[in-house]
Structure 1
């Protein structure tokens, strides 16, 4: 459940787009510039290698999550001077090796009855609608509750403790506030003023949920021309300074992760869509589960991820 939630969080974190606007010859402004009717279909892949040690048992697992999504700017008024964007899930792929082997592709009906795969597959045909402001903030997200219910129902879990645990995990990690935090992380790509080649800016944000963390990201405008802008991305991941233990199913959980990430994003300046992006992320840490009977279980984890986004060919 924890790996699923974290992966979904990551998947959801890379799904939102940043838009630059053409500027002067030596500098450019980076702001949201979507126009009603603009639409683009992108493929997001998260390829992970996970190493986990729990109670002396070592487990290695490779995991791939792939999503094809269509982003459409709506002709819908925004009282805040922003733009409404609808995100539709067109295809989902999920592959996991190790003891819990799963191989699922929503384009292949009836391929896998695994509850986790079915939950991912339920994303197809679903949508989220968000109001993006010019500075990248997202004050409103619509469709989260419906998406939660659809994914939980697709797992076909009977009423009882197992279903209740799934519902609690989903609502803790995938709710409207969490999505706003995810989008805020992407919106941090926008500098406060026009930037030239070599200019850098920094943002620090706090993520809550089951795996709270603090993320400090440095952005550098590496290059731009009339058509594209290229950003270099580096960052550090550390513990959330004010995080409190998460209580779920009677257990109190503390999580702490540290890591780094590096990557590059290429954006189309005219439309504001991401042309391509690659981010490599290395994290290690773990969580402690404090059981109602006073015992505790420590889980140590190392996660190496490659996150790519590209247009549908």
Structure 2
């Protein structure tokens, strides 16, 4: 049996903390008890009648949706000659409430995480968590319990851009994470960027079947990535658009956010492909299936040491996302 050195074993949790956020925070968040405002804006026409379609965010005020997202990932690392495999499987169920669609086209979204299920294993150890299992004692509870029944409120433009107050959003994130934002491994950007990325697929202009457009974004999930996403409208059927998605990611030697005294630069790149559907009337993504891989290496310096250690990494992941409209609060019980 391979016995890892103390330095080697101290590296693993630092790196895993960042990668855990890649899937979890992308799912969204929570809902408040805010009363929905009365509709004050006319939603724009999505079918322009000439074979072109306008993709933009314009959901109906007071509508509610159940969102289920699942992520499965396998990560392999080689640390000081020792191979480490990590598996993770997470399912997040949430209720998305459209609190308002304003006269100037701003969508206010409030979500509630109703349930988190997670399991994973590494180095001969396994852990599982289910927020609905009241009697379950899980080592993951301290991380996930604070995320249940908290509030995150997003204000988004028709193009999906966040137009709310960043400081307020960071305060909501701090509440959602139960103070984890004070940990040097977890920054506000690591939690906010993946959440907002869900709404950054809208084209600037009307599109026809066969058209493609590109979105260039920066995303920090503990490792800052430059992300280039290409979307292609493949079909429109009964108000539902189907898009093919290709994503390229590259960290290009960006610094990783680790614990105190630890430094690392990541040289990781990879691609993901998938298919998504969008309800053209509301502009909401209804389904998404995606798979891909990221690989490369990181140059790591442990706290109190000067020696640089190279860590090889490879991550394979699959994601599914499903949205179902529910008519009222009672329907989500």
TM range (shorter): 0.7 to 0.9
Q: How far apart, in 2, do the equivalents of 1:47 and 1:244 lie?
A: 26
Unpaired runs of 5+ residues, structure 1, are 154-162
Q: TM-score, normalised by structure 1?
A: 0.83
Consecutive aligned runs of 4 or more in structure 1 exceeding 6 Å deviation: none
Match of 2:99 in 1: 74
Q: CA deviation at 1:277?
A: 0.9
The number of equivalent residue pairs is: 294
Q: Report if aligned partners of 2:270, 2:295 keep a CA contact under 8 Å in 1.
A: yes
Q: How far apart, in 2, do the equivalents of 1:220 and 1:32 lie?
A: 18
Q: How far apart, in 2, do the equivalents of 1:3 and 1:20 lie?
A: 45
Q: Report if aligned partners of 2:67, 2:95 keep a CA contact under 8 Å in 1.
A: yes
The 5-angstrom pairing of residues 1-313 of structure 1 reads 1=13, 2-15=15-28, 21-24=46-49, 26-75=51-100, 81-98=105-122, 99-114=124-139, 116-140=140-164, 142=168, 144-149=170-175, 151-152=177-178, 167-170=183-186, 172=187, 175=188, 177-178=189-190, 181-183=193-195, 185-208=197-220, 210-240=222-252, 243-244=254-255, 246=257, 248-291=259-302, 292-311=304-323
Q: Computing the radius of gyration over CA atoms, which structure comes out larger, 1 or 2?
A: 2
Q: CA deviation at 1:240?
A: 4.4
SS of alignment partner, residue 120 of structure 1: helix
Q: How far apart, in 2, do the equivalents of 1:236 and 1:94 lie?
A: 27
SS of alignment partner, residue 194 of structure 2: helix
Unpaired runs of 5+ residues, structure 2, are 1-12, 30-43, 326-333
Go from structure 1 to structure 2 and tell me whether the alpha carbon gap of 1:270 and 1:180 turns closer, same or farther (over 3 Å shift): same
Q: How far apart, in 2, do the equivalents of 1:178 and 1:20 lie?
A: 35
Q: How far apart, in 2, do the equivalents of 1:146 and 1:83 lie?
A: 18
Q: Report if aligned partners of 1:211, 1:256 keep a CA contact under 8 Å in 2.
A: no
Q: CA deviation at 1:49?
A: 1.2
Quote the RMSD (CA, aligned, Å).
2.8
Go from structure 1 to structure 2 and tell me whether the alpha carbon gap of 1:169 and 1:277 turns closer, same or farther (over 3 Å shift): same
Q: How far apart, in 1, do the equivalents of 2:86 and 2:317 lie?
A: 12
Go from structure 1 to structure 2 and tell me whether the alpha carbon gap of 1:185 and 1:240 turns closer, same or farther (over 3 Å shift): farther
Q: Report if aligned partners of 2:255, 2:263 keep a CA contact under 8 Å in 1.
A: no
Q: TM-score, normalised by structure 2?
A: 0.79
